Amino acid sequence: MNGEKSGLNLDLTGKVCVVTGATGDLGRVMTRTLARCGCRN
């Protein structure tokens, strides 16, 4: 995300999220954003 802040303000600490297609642009951005919100893999 090139240093941009996410527009999401969610506390997902400790939650597990599965994103398919994470090698594509949208999936990559979503995984990074969810990680910043506290999701783990």
Whether 1 contacts 28, CB under 8 Å: no
Domain range annotation of the chain:
6-41
For residue 16, what is the DSSP state? B
Between 3 and 36, name the one with better pLDDT.
Answer: 36
Q: How confident is the model at residue 1 (pLDDT cuts 50, 70, 90)?
A: very low
- What would the pLDDT profile of 18-40 be if each residue is shown by its tens digit? 888 767 888 888 888 888 888 87
d(CA 38, CA 18): 13
d(CA 24, CA 9): 23
d(CA 18, CA 22): 9
d(CA 41, CA 33): 13
